Amino acid sequence: MRTHLITLCLCFALFSCAPKKPLSNSVPAAANGGVLIEPQVEACIKSKWILVSIKGLITEKALEESGIRRPFLLIKDKVSGFTGCNNMMGSSVEIVKNSIKFSNMATTKKMCAGKANEIEKGFLATLQKANKFEINNGLLILFEGEKKLAEFKAAQ
């Protein structure tokens, strides 16, 4: 009996973050009693996400060829990460169903040149524009309305 219970719990934990259809339309946090995140979404999105591409600006191939360390987001209660040149810290994230808002972003001020500068500018602009997300097939996809902005893969 105990083995069955443990197996059931493990299965639930593994499949709760499995790819699923996009979440329903979001409700602003104020209209939702201040609830910022659904429990099953929280378990899936609170992770480290590595940039794969920024639509119309940076492809996965360009990131690989750039030779720079990959930009990433670490989403917990706050957001931190690496922008391609500088570290990002202390950002707040508000998540309601499938809407997302990054705010209060601060970065270190290391001078960026060339491709690293282009990647950093695109990365930060994407976070500022993003207002919706979807987790699909192990990818975190950020949107501005219905327009896809960027894709991130879960860190291994």
Q: DSSP assignment of 83-109, as one string? A: -SSSEEEEEEEEEETTEEEEES-EE--
Tell me, yes or no, whether 87 lies in a domain.
yes
Residue 94 is part of a domain; what is its CATH number? 2.40.128.270
Supply the mean pLDDT for the chain.
77
Tell me, yes or no, whether 39 lies in a domain.
yes
Tell me, yes or no, whether 134 lies in a domain.
yes
Tell me, yes or no, whether 12 lies in a domain.
no
Q: CA 43, 45, 48, 50 torsion: positive or negative? A: positive
Residue 81: which domain range? Answer: 35-154
Q: Which of 17-21, 136-140, 141-145, 150-154 has the lowest mean pLDDT?
A: 17-21
Pairing of the two strands 87-96 and 99-103: antiparallel
- 58: closest CA among 147, 129, 150, 143? 150
Residue owning tokens 């001020």: 109
Domains in the chain, number? 1
Residue-wise pLDDT tens digits, 42-72: 558 889 999 999 998 888 888 888 888 899 9
